[in-house]
Amino acid sequence: MDPLDIMTNLEKVLPNYQAIFSADEQRVIGYEVLGRIKLKDEIQSLGPFFQDENVPDEYRIEVDDFILKQAIDEFLQLKDPELLLFINRDANLLMLDHGESFLEILFNKQDSGLKLDQIVLEITEHNFKGDAEQLYHLLTYYRTYGIKIAIDNIGKASSNLDRIGMLTPDILKIDLQPLRSTSTLQSYYDVLYSISLLARKVGATLLYEDVEVDFQLQYAWKNGGRYYQGYYLDKPKREFIDRDNCKERLKQEFQRFISSEKKKLERLYNFTENFHQRIHQLLAKIEKQYDDYNQLLEELSNQLDDCSFRIYICDEDGFQQSVNIYKNKHWEIQPQYYLKNWSWRPYFLENIMRMRIDKKGFLSDVYSDIEKGDLIRTFSFPLNNDHYLFIDLSYEFLYEEEGLL
């Protein structure tokens, strides 16, 4: 679309609204403003216009401001102080006048009843080319007026998590579009997990966008998403939809997710209990027959050939008190691991303390093995007050056991 066609038909530019739903209330908590233009009886998105850096800055700012003023006027007609209005802004354009013109529009609308704490400013961090510290100061200034900050399009392109953390957003918008791909890599899920940890650290709310099918909604629900947005729930419309538009549907969906997750957790609990008993009984039979741990591990490997590919023993400080016994088609001894220390691993000492207090084994979360790259789990078991047994369960075994992956 020629930018001049837009500038000469500004009266045909109008805002559309896409609803954002909450997990806790199962209702609309706000609307994102999206620019559209009606030309020749056809509604077209203005996304390409705003994203085209060849379009003069003043053109994009003028159209942005035109849409914003319309959107606020229509939003105020709802007379609902609980609703939020999500407004996209290019951070590079925002910084041209240090955000003053944007703030002036909001100030002018206060006389009409706008409360600035109903505004959520969305920016895309990975597109910003300026000084991150100056942007941080601007966003901090906005916050003094109650304006909330959302970082958009996380997961769609490379994002600097350090810079996102520095900007301390109120909301992180995670793009779920890649989940539709049949070749989605585990690394993508790992990145999303890292983002969810960052959100927790900085106190940000997770908003999952581009939810287009039910399994994406389930993923968002299971992975800390408080807010959801996408065609599966509501497409952008010229008008605002009723806040309870999807309430019953979401309640039913969440109930299905809850039931599924409870069954999975129950299966996980039962597996852990049964595997604990299996290890306990094995050790009761064979532990006293051997003078050193290496012999013990050799016998365990024979008994656990169906499920494990690595077994070793550590003390409570993380120093390995045995060799590794490792399965690579056949079991082999890896003496180089004796006395290596693993206390640097996340949750290692926490897990040792858990075993010491509970006096029983437990199953780890699914994670990627450093050496093999496969998804695995580790079963940890207290041998005595000082030493702990670690049994790495193979991907093949987990795949065959329902609910372990």
In tens, the pLDDT along 90-109 reads: 999 999 999 999 999 999 99
Question: Which amino acid would we find at residue 124?
Answer: T
Judged against a pLDDT cut of 90, whether residue 35 lies above it is answered with yes
State yes or no: pLDDT of 46 exceeds 60. Answer: yes
pLDDT score, position 163:
80
pLDDT given at position 100: 96
Report d(CA 198, CA 162) in Å as an integer: 9
- Cα–Cα distance between 393 and 326 in angstroms, integer? 11
The Cα–Cα gap between 50 and 262 comes to 45
Cα(132)–Cα(374) distance, rounded to whole angstroms? 37
pLDDT over 70, % of the chain:
97
Using the predicted structure, report yes or no on whether residue 185 has a pLDDT greater than 70.
Answer: no
- As a whole number, mean pLDDT of residues 16-38 equals 97
Average of per-residue pLDDT across 326-338: 95
pLDDT number for residue 64? 96
State yes or no: pLDDT of 392 exceeds 70: yes
Per the CATH hierarchy, to which homologous superfamily does domain 282-400 belong? PAS domain (3.30.450.20)
CB atoms within 10 A of CB 213: 14
Q: With a cut of 70, say whether residue 137 has pLDDT above it.
A: yes
The structural domains of the chain, with segments of one domain joined by +, span 3-234, 282-400
pLDDT value of residue 156: 60
pLDDT band at 330 (very low <50, low <70, confident <90, very high): very high
State residue 347's pLDDT score: 86
Nearest to 257 by CA among 220, 211, 230: 220
- Cα dihedral 65, 71, 77, 83, rounded to 10, equals -110
Whether the per-residue pLDDT at 148 is higher than 80: the answer is yes
What is the model's pLDDT at position 184?
Answer: 63
Name the average pLDDT for the chain.
Answer: 92
pLDDT band at 14, cuts 50/70/90?
A: very high
The answer to whether 340 and 319 are in contact (CB under 8 A) is: yes
Evaluate if residue 158 carries a pLDDT over 70. Answer: no
Model pLDDT, residue 182 = 60
Mean pLDDT, rounded, for 77-84: 97
What is the pLDDT, as a whole number, of residue 346? Answer: 82
Polymer length of the chain: 405
Tell me the chain's radius of gyration from C-alpha atoms.
27
Q: pLDDT tens for residues 235-293?
A: 999 999 999 999 999 999 999 999 999 999 999 999 999 999 999 999 998 877 777 89
Give me the pLDDT at residue 98, please.
94
Q: Which of 165-174, 176-185, 197-206 has the lowest mean pLDDT?
A: 176-185
Residue type present at position 304: L
Average pLDDT score over residue span 297-314: 96
Between 164 and 120, residue with greater pLDDT: 120
What's the CA gap between 281 and 38, in Å, rounded? 73
Q: Which CATH class is domain 3-234?
A: alpha beta
Is the predicted pLDDT of residue 44 greater than 60, yes or no?
yes
Would the pLDDT of 187 be above 80? no
Q: Is the pLDDT of residue 150 over 90?
A: yes
pLDDT at 155: 62
Which among 105, 79, 1 is positioned nearest to 45, based on CA atoms? Answer: 1
HEC string for the chain: CCHHHHHCCHHHEEEEEEEEEECCCCCEEEEEEEEEEEECCEEEECHHHHHCCCCCHHHHHHHHHHHHHHHHHHHHCCCCCCCEEEEECCHHHHHHHCCHHHHHHHHHHHCCCCCHHHEEEEECHHHCCCCHHHHHHHHHHHHCCCCEEEEEEECCECCCHHHHHHHCCCEEEEECHHHHCCCCCHHHHHHHHHHHHHHHHHCCEEEEECCCCHHHHHHHHHCCEEEECCCCCCCCECCCCCCCCCHHHHHHHHHHHHHHHHHHHHHHHHHHHHHHHHHHHHHHHHHHHCCCHHHHHHHHHHHCCCCEEEEEEEECCCEECCCEEEEECEEEEEHHHCCCECCCCCCHHHHHHHHHHHCCCEECCCEECCCCCCEEEEEEEECCCCEEEEEEECHHHHHHCCCCC
In terms of pLDDT, which residue wins out, 153 or 4? 4
Q: Has this prediction a pTM greater than 0.85?
A: yes
